[in-house]
Amino acid sequence: MLSARELEFVLYEHPAVWDVAVIEEPAGQLAAFVQPRAGHKLNASEIAQFCRKKLGDGRTPGRFYVVNRLPKTKTGKISHHDLLELIPQVNALSL
């Protein structure tokens, strides 16, 4: 089984990715949130294809979200709790 940390390492290899957060959704499925680098455009389909090439179909997570900015706490860490609240607001690719 793929861990959230392993998936984050793979996603950081994409040249257009600035920041990444991976969480487990309430249904138990991994979901990846990706923030593109300034001046780059990404879509969830492109990220999913990148992961399939690196990980194979069986290890690619079920959902990808591309966001303008990842929510942060006052100390600058990614707020994983706030990511769950973003889900209804962003377009996702479900595999």
Question: In the chain, what are the domains?
Answer: 4-94 (3.30.300.30)
Report which of residues 42 and 94 the model is more confident about.
Answer: 42
Mean per-residue pLDDT, 67-80: 90
Residues 13-42 pLDDT 10s: 999 999 999 988 777 788 899 999 999 999
> Which pairs with CB-CB distance under 8 Å and at least 24 residues apart come from 5-8?
7/32, 7/51, 7/55, 7/61, 8/32
The mean per-residue pLDDT over the stretch 2-19 comes to 92
For residue 32, how many other CB atoms are within 10 A of its CB? 27
Give the pLDDT of residue 36: 95
Q: What pLDDT is attached to residue 95?
A: 42
pTM of the entire structure?
Answer: 0.83
